Amino acid sequence: MANTETALKEALASIEGATGAALVDYTSGMALGTMGGSKGFDLNVAAAGNTDVVRAKLRTMEHLGLKGDIEDILITLSDQYHLIRLMSGRGGNGLFLYLVLDSKRANLAMARHQLKKIEADLEV
């Protein structure tokens, strides 16, 4: 079992092209931990903004009567991938892992696979 800091470090070290990672509480919009980012990319601001994305998708699913769970949400920019993975189990309800990837260096399928593994090992 990994703690938040260890899990975020692992995400940046083991996922090719990862430039930032955060664990976010989407009930409050607060980042519980961040790693990476840059002066021009504030992970706390991104965490708060992506909270709105998660809430909107959950609301839409409710209105449509969809019963499935969200595994992840992908936002594709011209030079980045933003991957949001909702956590399940072991107190992860209301939390998501957020990963920023350089699209020129990242393998999206491998990033999704590795983030799922990190989520499974994360103890919140």
What CATH code is carried by the domain that includes residue 19? 3.30.450.30
How many angstroms separate the CA atoms of 22 and 120, rounded? 15
pTM of the model: 0.93
Measured in degrees and rounded to the nearest 5, phi and psi for residue 112 equal -60, -45
Print the domain residue range for 24: 4-121
pLDDT of 88 higher than 60 = yes
Sign of the dihedral defined by the CA atoms of residues 120, 43, 24, 106, in that order: negative
Residue-wise pLDDT tens digits, 4-19: 999 999 999 999 999 9
Number of domains, the chain? 1
Average pLDDT over residues 108-118: 95
